[in-house]
Chain A
Amino acid sequence: EIVLTQSPGTLSLSPGERATLSCRASQSVSSSYLAWYQQKPGQAPRLLIYGASSRATGIPDRFSGSGSGTDFTLTISRLEPEDFAVYYCQQYGSSLNTFGQGTKVEIK
């Protein structure tokens, strides 16, 4: 099983600032099969990024994903008020999908 470790656990930033979230895998993720999701309180997760860097339908271009192998990054170029939420990475390169533990982006 591939273990995903997200850091930091909590990111305290102000609107307009840049957010950089990390997702590190315990072994290489094949073919960059890594996705990112956003979850707000009381809501279902929403797909942001798949294939490490492809934005899902309707996702603003301030969200971008990068990385390969074992190190992946989600960047939010300028935080909007609606971006404060918990973010999860997921690897789907193995038969067993696994998620990271999440990074909470909170208002400073």
Chain B
Amino acid sequence: EVQLVESGGGLVQPGRSLRLSCAASGFTFDDYAMHWVRQAPGKGLEWVSGISWNSGSIGYADSVKGRFTISRDNAKNSLYLQMNSLRAEDTALYYCAKAPGQWLVPTYFDYWGQGTLVTVSS
């Protein structure tokens, strides 16, 4: 059974940093691209970032480019999102999502974690 478990969320002040993690199990992690998708409270879904199976291809939404960094450790079956210079508008539930293939695009998301909440507030 595919399982994705996010962690690392919390309350953080504007301008500070936070690192999210996603622990994957139930599938061969290094065969698939992985993504982060967020959902602001009461709002819709927004793709944040994605990384190919071998970290050779990486993409970011314009809203986070230059502030967020995605990475993965295939030996640890883990996905990460380093979030710097956080803003109030980054407040959201952050989901880790698995792609059905190796590459970044084109892709939908076939499995999702339960999310970790990031709140940016002073």
Contact = CB atoms under 8 A, between A and B. Distances in A.
B20 to A, nearest CB: 15
A47 interface: yes
A57 B110 CA distance: 9
B39 to A, nearest CB: 9
Interface string A67-92: 00000000000000000000010101
B71 interface: no
User: A44, A46, A50, A94: which has the most chain B beta carbons within 10 Å?
Assistant: A44
Interface residues of A, number: 26
A35 B61 CA distance: 19
B64 to A, nearest CB: 12
B44 A50 contact: no
B44 A47 contact: no
Interface size class of B (residues with CB under 8 A): 20 to 34
Interface stretch (B10-18, B75-83, B84-92, B111-119): B111-119
Contacts of A46: 112
A31 B106 contact: yes
Given A96-B61, A100-B44, A47 B109 contact: yes
Contacts of B112: 44-46
Interface of B: 44-47, 50, 59, 61, 95, 100, 104-115
Given A44-B112, A92-B105, 20 more contacts: A33-B106, A33-B108, A35-B109, A43-B114, A44-B95, A44-B113, A45-B45, A45-B112, A46-B112, A47-B109, A47-B111, A50-B100, A57-B110, A92-B108, A93-B106, A97-B50, A97-B105, A98-B47, A100-B44, A102-B44
Interface of A: 30-31, 33, 35, 37, 43-47, 50, 56-57, 88, 90, 92-102
